[in-house]
A and B are shown apart, each in its own frame.
Chain A
């Protein structure tokens, strides 16, 4: 299902023309209205009026989270505050919050882009959409809320938390589409299982999950447990919020809304673009934002681009699911390890539950990693031998795929903490 077919399926040549036009006027605006960019362009001797092709994007400076923090709260706004109709703030996953502002047109574009994501995932005007993302300063709730309303769906703005009530409402209000973090979807599923609720009696058909990285194994688990089509969507408040990219029902990567955002994938070390299809850090430039445009924002999210066209007919390129964050990256005994790699392996092994925690410590001068993973009850109460075998299996899989040895501890079901928002998977005691 398309929302704006003429745009989502536009020929690449037309898209590139549009991107160039929009980028040129964005550069003019930031150079005129945002002192930070004006200074940066001057320092680097960049003439924003001389910008002639999308390939020249690489000559422009990056914008980082620190730049946003240094200009807290309104320093990077490109319009006077009186033109701002909404202020949001980053979820503060890492450190100090950052502030972003939206004009009336920004909110309109945002609604359209989240509507694209929702329509691509299967949501239509007959759907009842339960939005269990937090409302408030976090962009997740409001962003998808606008899109769902734009489509004409019935929106339940329940916000996050209160799992029992979520389930009650899901049953009573005949929710057909659930929107939350993937880890919360699993928590809902497990709670319903515990409450002996017949999943098949629910009206639920679609789930749109985002806000944290998740694996294919986790998708399968959610799809089976909730009997739905689960799609991934991506966004970040610094760039707009949800609506930057989203999966279509093919579920083979997230279509980037390239008419509104330019994407680059760079090597986070060298800052050079990676080879096509290689994994690296996502860098985004906004093309239509009025209130808070950003040039080459380093997202710290890691993924790769999929250049092949998608069978769904959209011409917007896809990116693979977020594989992790550059600041999630653990350097263990000199090896780069992402929690998502560990998750993918755990999901592959029978008998484990999709709840885990990675603990990194330093013993003497050596790093030590312990993966705590929940296992199904039957194994836990069974003989020691079976447990031993499972531990060995996980250890050897992790060792062969990560290249480092890892300790594995099996824990009882539900003994690890559950999260209503973004899950905390890594505890790095080395820094404490």
Chain B
């Protein structure tokens, strides 16, 4: 579905992504974990077409994304849920959702009302608050709205940038359960997260990004079991007595 080879990108002279190779297969949740400044968001922006790569290739649905504009990438079926939600605060929940259907609404046979119902089924709280201004929603609700807005475009691949940012642990759990259910409903998800434990907990595979390089990759369970990942990202002191007893 998504294949990236030797991708390099950055801002001006600053090289942020250094030779990234990765892929996402249909029906998978793939997560990219890494610390602040590792290049996670830059990677998603590059896939979305917002930043142009300086080298390497991105193939989405067997099409090279070279010279394809961001809006075209969305209509090809790849949507981004940006970090920090970025909902339109002064518009209603419903209006925000309808904005998400913009590229699809021009296509024949697109059932806007049906899609809205789908979104309301996934996020009942959005139905309850459909006329409310988006700015008045709680953080968790705004995250759901941002996800719903992306889903309105009926993406084949949905990319999420740090959905857990700034949310209470209980809400994070809800959000991740929804992502897990999206996958079960046949969606493909590329999930960028700092919260390595939560992300690896629902993902099929993962990549560890460090200063613009992928330093580890593999099945999510293998990464959870990897002691380097545990030390650096899961905050577990694997070398202490307690950890060895736990196993």
Contacts and interface: CB of A to CB of B under 8 A. Distances in A.
Interface in B200-216: 213-216
Interface in B212-245: 213-218, 222, 225-228, 239
Interface string B76-108: 000000000000000000000000000000000
B23 interface: yes
B227 A79 contact: yes
Nearest to A50: B19
B3 interface: yes
Nearest to B25: A14
A24 B19 contact: yes
Interface residues of B, number: 21
Contact of A25 (B23, B215, B227): B215
Contacts of B132: none
Interface in A233-272: none
Interface in A27-48: 28-29, 32
Contact of B217 (A22, A32, A82, A104): A22
A64 to B, nearest CB: 27
Contacts of A25: 214-217
B5 interface: yes
Contacts of B239: 82
Interface string A91-127: 0000000000001110010000000000000000000
Nearest to A32: B215
B213 A104 contact: no
B171 interface: no
A31 B23 CA distance: 24
A112 to B, nearest CB: 10
Contacts of A108: 222, 225
A20 interface: yes
Interface in A211-228: none
Contacts of A50: 19
A354 B213 CA distance: 55
A430 to B, nearest CB: 49
A20 B19 CA distance: 11
Nearest to B208: A25
B23 A105 contact: no
Nearest to B56: A52
A103 B19 CA distance: 27
A49 B5 contact: no
Contacts of A79: 227-228
A137 B6 CA distance: 40
Contact of B19 (A22, A52, A82, A288): A52
Contact of B23 (A14, A32, A49): A14
A104 B225 contact: yes
B22 A290 contact: no
Given A14-B23, A28-B213, A28-B215, A20 B225 contact: no
Given A50-B19, A79-B227, A104-B225, A17 B3 contact: yes
Nearest to A104: B225
Interface of B is mostly: strand
A367 to B, nearest CB: 52
Nearest to B222: A105
Interface residues of A, number: 24
A83 interface: yes
Contacts of B3: 17
A17 B5 contact: yes
Interface string A62-103: 000000000000000001001100000000000000000001
Q: In this complex, which of B6, B21, B23, B227 has the most chain A Cβ atoms within 10 angstroms of its Cβ?
A: B21
Contact of A52 (B6, B213, B214, B225): B6
A20 B226 contact: no
B225 A21 contact: no
Contact of A49 (B19, B22, B226, B227): B19
B21 A105 contact: no
A14 B5 CA distance: 12
B112 interface: no
A105 B5 contact: no
Given A49-B18, A49-B19, A21 B226 contact: no
Given A105-B226, A288-B218, A20 B213 contact: no
Given A25-B214, A82-B239, A17 B21 contact: yes
B95 to A, nearest CB: 41
Contacts of A17: 3, 5, 21, 23
Contacts of B19: 24, 49-52
A14 B216 CA distance: 18
Contacts of B215: 25, 28-29, 32
A52 B226 CA distance: 25
A51 B226 CA distance: 24
Given A17-B23, A21-B21, A105 B225 contact: yes
A257 B116 CA distance: 47
Interface in B103-160: none
A192 interface: no
Nearest to B230: A83
Contacts of B6: 52
A18 interface: yes
Nearest to B214: A25
A5 to B, nearest CB: 14
Contacts of B226: 103, 105, 290
Contacts of A82: 227, 239
Contacts of B21: 17, 20-21, 24
6 contacts: A14-B23, A17-B3, A25-B217, A28-B215, A49-B18, A49-B213
Interface of B: 3, 5-6, 18-19, 21-23, 25, 213-218, 222, 225-228, 239
Given A52-B6, A79-B228, 10 more contacts: A17-B21, A21-B214, A25-B214, A29-B216, A49-B19, A52-B19, A105-B222, A105-B225, A108-B222, A290-B226
Nearest 9 CB-CB pairs, A to B? A83-B227, A21-B21, A105-B222, A52-B6, A17-B23, A28-B215, A20-B21, A25-B217, A104-B225
